Chain A
Amino acid sequence: MTVLAVHGLKKVYPSPGQPVCVLNNVEFELHSGDRVAILGPSGSGKSTLLNIIGGLDQPTEGRVSVDGQVVSEMDETALSRYRNRTVGFVFQDHHLLPQCTVLENVLVPCLASGAPEREEIEWALALLERVGLKDRIWHRPGELSGGERQRVALARALIRRPALVLADEPTGNLDRTTGEHVAQLLVELHQEQNNILIVVTHSEHLAAMIGKRCRLENGQLTWENT
């Protein structure tokens, strides 16, 4: 059972005039199996919150801990390991390597410390089968549709069996049907893997599919009843 705890999180961006506070005393706690959608207008700090949780950004104040380990206190090596082993990212832009095949793209996180193990390759194949791309493993991103690329990105996020899956507008670049399909997949995979899923989105529709939702406005996180 993984516990993600966010305490007194504050993020202020320096600005030529007044500093901009995008997160102000954000607090919440999630456990394995939880999934939550964070809604909010552009610039409300949704992605910032996700980046801080994922170890891509540092808070101005407060802390994020996963199973008691404070992310902001980790050194560079520990942080890389955290991102590699604990977190799975899904970005709005799929960020696939065009020079690599679908399978290789999924396995990219495994190159962080050597070459992929046989089990990891099997798991990648299983994930690709699960996202419906079993027949496309030798294809390159340029030969895939937008939805397919995002499904590859989804598989890549899960390759290390992360305890935490962070998706930043995962359907933002997709049409409604494809988006729904990807969102459905995201939810199903979350259910199968029992991790914590946090999805940042503008889309009420996607948020509805996720279930639990909260809203980030003026730096404050407000939980909504669903």
Chain B
Amino acid sequence: MDPKRRVFSIGKLVRATLWYFCWPFIGVVLAVAVTTAVLVGALVLGDSLRHSLRHQAIDRLGAVDDALFPAGFLRQDCTRDWQEKTHVYSQIVPVIRVSASLENPSGNGDRTARANGVQIIGCPPAFWTLGHVKPTRQPQGREIVLNEKTAELLHAKVGDRIVVWLPVLHGIPAESSLGRRADVVKPSAAVVVDIVTNENLGAFQLAGSQEIPRNAYVDLAWIAEEIGQPGGANVVLFSRKAEFLHDTGKALAEVAQLSISPEDYGLHVTRTRRGYLFLTTERLIFDPATEKAVTERVKDLKFQRVFIYLAERVTCPNGEAWYATVAAVPLVSDSPFGPFLDTADRPVTTPAEDECVLNEWMAQRLKVKPGEQITLTYFAPETDGGDIRRETAVLKVKAIVRLQGAAADPELVPEVRGLTDKKTIADWDPPFPFDPSRVTREDEEYWAQYRATPKIFVSPEFAEEHWASRYGKTTGIRVLPTNGLDEESLRARLTLSVGELGWQLQPVREQALNASQGTTPFDVLFLAFNLFVVVASLLLTGLLFVLNVEKRANQLGLVRAVGWPRTRVLFWLLGESSVLTVVGTLGGVLLGVGYAKLLTQALHTIWLPALGVPFLHLAVTPFAIILGIVLGIACSLLVTVVMTQRFVRFTPQVLLMGTWASEGMGGTKSGREYGRAIGILVAVIALVGAILLAGLGFGSDERTQAGAFFGSGALMLFGLWQILVLWFRGWLRMKAVVRRITGLAARNLGRNPTRSALSTILMGLAVFLVISVSSFHLDVSDRGPDFTSGDGGFWLVGESDHPIFSDLNSVAVRRSLGLSDADLVEWKNVRIYALRRRAGEDASCLNLYRTREPIVLGIDDDVIARGGFRFTSVMKSAENRADSNPWELLKRPPVIDAEGVVHVPAIVDDATAKYAFQKWRGVGENFEMVLPTGKRVAFQFVGLLDNSIFQGRILIWERTFRELFPDVAGYRYFLIEIRSSDDVRPLDKTLVTKVQQFLEKNFAAEGLQLVSTREKLRALYAVQNTYLSTFQSLGGLGLLLGTIGLGAVVFRGVVERQTEIALLRAVGFSANRVHLLVLVENMIVLLLGLGIGVISSLLAVAPQLLSGRGHVPWQAAITVGALMLLIGFATGHVAGRWIARQQPAMGLRRE
């Protein structure tokens, strides 16, 4: 080999060095690999979560891209026309989607197995073409297909007969006075014909949730009949053609233009015997949107609004009449709307607001004359949660009209099933309180001859004032047929578009993709969880690299002595660390993927509460890998450069003499004093900063507290590290004579103060994280509900599939449900608060998807007045004093802004506001929701609850709720408060179980399911606690790395001091004494680390502890302390034993 051709360069020197010292460097490579593995693992996990959520959301939609939710039902047939006209869609499928509870009478042996909250999908055969999972036999007639999840809950198999508690949907709003509130569910039997897997259409779901939905599939025609909506559908599913998959704008535009005939949206057009065309609706009352759209279409025609109402009783001094129809309609003279003639054949005009017009029959019955007064008693248009209220009005009789012509028009009254379709009044089956004994022979005769013809006429203004409600103010619209207008042409004219009806197409696929971005950034979360492992592995990287550099310090001295500039030396070290880092990083990538796999497994097993269900699939993306590599290289390089740069700053002489460890940066006294002064200053600044930051956390919001926690802890650790360095250095310079072995150990630690301090701080950091994180662990009190806690003092909480209208606090209702007198006494202190609930997505931490339409609860005045729960923050305002009830803030009136957005005061759980809705500022922020009608609602947070059972729900005032969601009837959310009979004796817990079982049994058909608030809170807390456990587990991994680092330092220390330890042996130290010396050194580091960790963590969590939201985790502290001491003892023991066994002569020969 020609030496002249062999080039010697820095690169070659780096290679030679790495090769020569390969064993010590392997440790560095492994530490870098661990750093990269942790980074890559966290990033891959984040990607995997997003990928899995995305995959799941898309899979569960099958080929469905968009969905239309009409207000109520539309006719299935109209979608056939749409299919012919569409350019954008390949398939349009009408379905019925209702929530129901299912029972399998033979599911649990003798006992009935029950599944609540099951999504029943009434589907035509075309539905199954939207996906790849389909039953072997499609359900027809009384047949049902279950998905595996539902079948599992019901213990059902093919051939089983299942009872389906289906809602009976009457057209008339349930909470209007004519709405039906009894018999709102009915049982229907169906035979299981197949069980489909929990994927694709088998888990069909329009809202995002990682939970497997409970699905059951039935024949569309059958369910439509069963729920009282023959031929109807309440959801239309759209599947786009491939070329329009990403063209949502076009899809929205096309659907908005799709036409709907009057019959399709429940409007009836009839020609009356009097010759006018009459529009009525299946809902009995026109909803405001439909009325607006319809009147817009007939505005160029002559038309009249009609409002028919029922008076329960009409009285005057001379008589009374029951159950009289009242019409609010303009009284005009022109036919066919008029004329209305009085007994003298004079036309009668519309009465004033305080007047009425009676027909002859009623006038005779009451024996009243014009000018006299009558009193109307009628049912309030809206029930009070199902309870009918009566109201009265006194009206002056303006005129009496003949019962002929326009005044004898029974067709003014729309058809009301159970009333107008009955032959006699005695046959009525009304939803309101009805006393047949009040019906006289004259009434029956009138009914036989005139049917429901109005007996009283009032002004439209009176009707609007007294009978209008959130459901509307018009029961019919009569249109004058001019210019050849007939039923057909009016129908054509009233054919509206989807857009005109205010129905909004929901691009569900696009929404699902957005939702699958998730509320929890798992990569960031797991990067944070792994922070300590990263820090520990980086410190270990630096420590091992530095140990190697220290070993070769004389080499650095030599090259500096022969004229290498500092930059050149740094370049050399950088070259070495670069190679090690790159090799370690590449190895770390593979480890990282394995680590991600391990984390996935852990999330599917021990950390399952964080996900709810095991649905994660590993998805390794180039982005995660590249980012992991870049971060791994950058962090590792940085730490090696930072930790070795001091060697470049040492003088060559110091390096050559090997006195760098004790000399520090400057060998002179003034230099040392300067360094000491700087060190003290830095430490004081850091410690003061830590205290100030901790102070900042007091009374502040959660995010500030979190920032204060980490900032304060980090500054405290840094400050203590600085003090430690000075302290260790001081031990070396101690003037006192060393008399004990502890003094000798202290001196030894002072030889390399930075290294000793680093080891100490590494242990301290582990203790800090493990202990401080433990203090955030949430526990549910074992003492039972507490008024000012997350359960608000309630024992039970629950939801039902179908509305419950009964007043469950009424003794009569309780008795009717089967409670005995003795039970009623026991139940005296059982108070049930029923709340309205609008179905939506769960926005609690149990749902990983981003929510768009969360569940909304209507909080009634009783709950508001009761108060309770703990708030993290409340909106400050003039009317809200510190001692006032924050719930009252819900009663602030909604405000409509210039853009038409309704701002509604709302209370939500703190965690929901910040994590699910990403509204980090909390109080004062708005969460905007677009209702299916297109209305935009901004829920403005006026108060945030602290870890409550309401997590994932938006709470608004019930009155506002009714305005916003007029179609949501009844109560589906229940809070149950149970108190002991007196304040002295504790509550008998068996009563809680009894109440739960009793209510669940009685309202099984409604699908009522109650859970204890403790159980509910535990489920919610489990997520946060699991995250904390994850953090702690990974902190434990970091502790392990820290221990390895400590072990390396200990071994390095004893190897370095082999000669002097040999000398100690030579002068008479026994092997045990040397062993003890090493052990003591190690224990000093450990105890200091433990102390620093405990002090830092207590300071960092002080705001939490003092605000009562955290607790001192004694158990964790003791466990970690004991573990560390054990590990430290073991490390010191092994190192001490090793050095004590060395022959002294060998060590001395080295000298």
Contacts and interface: CB of A to CB of B under 8 A. Distances in A.
Interface in A46-82: 51, 54, 56-57, 76-77, 80-82
Contacts of A118: 4
A77 B566 CA distance: 9
Contacts of A54: 561
A95 B559 CA distance: 10
Contacts of B23: none
A89 B1 CA distance: 30
Interface in A67-112: 76-77, 80-85, 87, 89, 91, 93, 95, 97-100, 103-104, 107-112
A84 B562 contact: yes
B668 interface: yes
B1069 interface: no
Given A56-B561, A121-B3, A160-B563, 10 more contacts: A14-B670, A57-B653, A80-B563, A80-B564, A83-B562, A99-B20, A104-B8, A108-B558, A112-B568, A116-B8
- Number of contact residues on A: which range applies? 35 or more
A208 interface: no
B711 to A, nearest CB: 37
A111 B13 contact: yes
A97 B558 contact: yes
B20 A81 contact: no
6 contacts: A14-B668, A56-B653, A109-B564, A110-B8, A111-B8, A121-B3
Taking each of A99, A103, A121, which has the highest tally of chain B beta carbons within 10 Å of its own beta carbon? A99
Interface string B645-679: 00000011100100000000000111000000000
A98 B22 CA distance: 13
Given A89-B561, A99-B21, A111 B566 contact: no
A14 B674 CA distance: 15
A118 B2 CA distance: 12
B565 interface: yes
Taking each of A103, A108, A111, which has the highest tally of chain B beta carbons within 10 Å of its own beta carbon? A111
Nearest to B564: A112
Contacts of B568: 111-113
Contacts of A16: 735
B563 A121 contact: no
Interface in A1-35: 14, 16
Contacts of A144: none
- Which 5 residue pairs are nearest across A and B when measured between Cβ atoms? A84-B563, A99-B20, A14-B669, A109-B562, A83-B563
Contacts of B656: 56, 91, 95
A109 B560 CA distance: 9
B626 interface: no
Contact of A84 (B1, B7, B8, B564): B564
B92 to A, nearest CB: 76
Interface string A186-223: 00000000000000000000000000000000000000
Interface in B609-668: 651-653, 656, 668
Interface in B1-33: 1, 3-4, 7-10, 12-13, 16-17, 19-21
Contacts of A14: 668-670
B16 A77 contact: no
A91 B563 CA distance: 15
A158 B770 CA distance: 59
B565 A112 contact: yes
A122 B4 contact: yes
A104 B656 CA distance: 20
A116 to B, nearest CB: 5
A85 B563 contact: yes
A149 interface: no
Nearest to A107: B8
B432 to A, nearest CB: 100
Nearest to B562: A109
A182 to B, nearest CB: 18
Nearest to A97: B555
A174 interface: no
Nearest to A14: B669
Taking each of A80, A84, A110, A122, which has the highest tally of chain B beta carbons within 10 Å of its own beta carbon? A80
B79 interface: no
Contact of A115 (B4, B7, B21, B670): B7
Contacts, number: 103
B558 A95 contact: yes
B554 interface: yes
B567 to A, nearest CB: 9
B563 A81 contact: yes
Nearest to A121: B4
B566 A76 contact: yes
A152 interface: no
A125 interface: yes
Contacts of A93: 554
B655 to A, nearest CB: 10
B868 interface: no
A156 interface: yes
B886 interface: no
Nearest to B7: A115
B139 interface: no
A104 B11 CA distance: 12
A107 B4 CA distance: 12
A185 interface: no
A156 B4 contact: no
Contacts of A156: 562
Given A99-B20, A100-B16, A137-B3, A112 B562 contact: yes
Contact of A125 (B3, B7, B17, B562): B3
B1128 interface: no
Contacts of A108: 13, 558-559, 562
Interface string B37-62: 00000000000000000000000000
B1147 interface: no
Contacts of B564: 80, 84, 109, 111-112
B16 A104 contact: yes
A103 B565 contact: no
B563 A77 contact: no
A85 B565 CA distance: 12
Given A80-B563, A112-B564, A103 B4 contact: no
A99 B565 contact: no
B651 A56 contact: yes
Nearest to A98: B20
A107 B554 CA distance: 17
Contacts of A110: 8
Taking each of A56, A85, A122, which has the highest tally of chain B beta carbons within 10 Å of its own beta carbon? A56
A77 B653 contact: no
Interface string B382-404: 00000000000000000000000
A99 B16 contact: yes
A118 B3 CA distance: 10
Interface string B1018-1043: 00000000000000000000000000
Contacts of A91: 656
Given A97-B555, A99-B21, A125-B3, A112 B563 contact: yes
A111 B651 contact: no
Taking each of B12, B19, B563, B565, which has the highest tally of chain A beta carbons within 10 Å of its own beta carbon? B563
Contacts of B566: 76, 80
Interface string B559-580: 1111111101000000000000
Contacts of B559: 108, 111-112
Contacts of B1: 138
B565 A80 contact: yes
A111 B652 CA distance: 16
A103 to B, nearest CB: 6
Nearest to A115: B9
B8 A83 contact: no
Contacts of A109: 562-564
B652 A56 contact: yes
B710 to A, nearest CB: 39
Interface in B534-589: 554-555, 557-566, 568
A99 B555 CA distance: 11
Nearest to B566: A76
